[in-house]
Amino acid sequence: MKLSDFVVREAILTDLKAATKEEAIRAMVESLSKTGHVKPADQEGIIAAILKREELGSTGIGKGVAVPHTKHPSVNRLVATIALSREGVEFASLDGERVHILFLLVSPPDRPGDHLRALENISRHLRNDNFCNFLRQAQSAEAVIELLEEADNNQLG
Amino acid sequence: MNPIPTCTREVVVKLENGLHLGPGSQIVQLAQKFSSEILIRKGDKTVDGKSMLDLLTLAAEHGTVLELQARGDDAAAALEAIAALFDRNFASEQPTDKPA
């Protein structure tokens, strides 16, 4: 599984203005909805499900990264989007740091293995400091996509 | 000089959805309470049990056998506590074994 297989290019947000967890999640789901990757009618249900998941424990996993997610029948394959926040979003992360990189995932209810493999993929690249730093500095969706492709091809060292 | 206390133990992932973020964060939070180094091995891959990013790279699905290793003064207690999480299938701490 590659990042570029499940990250929806046209839904990437490189200048997220959200100040709160809810605003961030809403902006990202709306972006998936606007680009036709989740059904607009399901948008509010998906946002609510992701926020409910956050209540169980923050998906802010440290190093300025959060991975909000949910299962939802609106999708028949795993879809994800990325948002970058210059200011950082207060996310109640495990390490208390604000979040600058968000990967939001929506996966079909019957595919827990895909969800695990996507998390594996994302976390493997995020352990690479080059990937994290370049991603935080990316100014455009094109730059993010280029970086994802380089990561997929193990070109980041 | 006394050798560093080291303990190892195998556990099985019984979570229906595998070792995803919810149970993973329970492991990390518990592991960080101990001074010992905590390593978790799946096959030929060994990761730091105190790092969420590390743990997620295991992609340990239902039925996966993992080896826990603790090295340090509180190794035995650390291993017992973490193994207990697996044994009770994580559920009693927080209801996070199924992503919403």
Q: How many domains does chain A have?
A: 1
Q: Give the CATH number for residue B24.
A: 3.30.1340.10
Q: Which domain holds residue B21?
A: 7-87
Q: With the C-alpha atoms ordered A50, A53, A57, A59, is the resulting torsion angle positive or negative?
A: negative
Answer yes or no: is A157 within a domain. no
Kindly identify which residue of chain B lies nearest to residue A64, measuring between CA atoms: B53
Answer yes or no: is B2 within a domain. no
Tell me: ipTM over 0.90. Answer: no
- Residues 17-36 on B with a CB inside 8 Å of A are 17-22, 25-26, 28-29
Q: Tell whether the model's pLDDT for residue A63 goes beyond 90.
A: no
Answer yes or no: is B100 within a domain. no
Say what the pTM is: 0.88
Q: Tell whether the model's pLDDT for residue B69 goes beyond 80.
A: yes
pLDDT tens by residue, B73-98: 999 999 999 999 999 999 654 444 44
Answer yes or no: is B98 within a domain. no
- Mean pLDDT across the stretch A10-15? 97
Residues of A with a Cβ under 8 Å from any B Cβ are 49-50, 52-53, 56-57, 59, 61-63, 65, 67, 69-71, 94, 112-113, 115-117, 119-120, 122-124, 126-127
DSSP string, chain B: -PPPPEEEEEEE---TT-S-HHHHHHHHHHHTTSSSEEEEEETTEEEETT-HHHHHTT---TT-EEEEEEESTTHHHHHHHHHHHHHTTTTTT-S-SS--
Question: What pLDDT does residue B98 have?
Answer: 46
Answer yes or no: is B92 within a domain. no
- pLDDT-derived band at A62 (thresholds 50, 70, 90) equals confident
Q: In whole angstroms, give the CA distance from residue B65 to residue B68.
A: 10
Answer yes or no: is B48 within a domain. yes
Q: Give the CATH number for residue A119.
A: 3.40.930.10
pLDDT tens by residue, B8-33: 999 999 999 999 998 999 999 999 99
Contact predicate A120/A112, CB 8 Å: no
Q: How many domains does chain B have?
A: 1
B62 catalytic? Reply is no
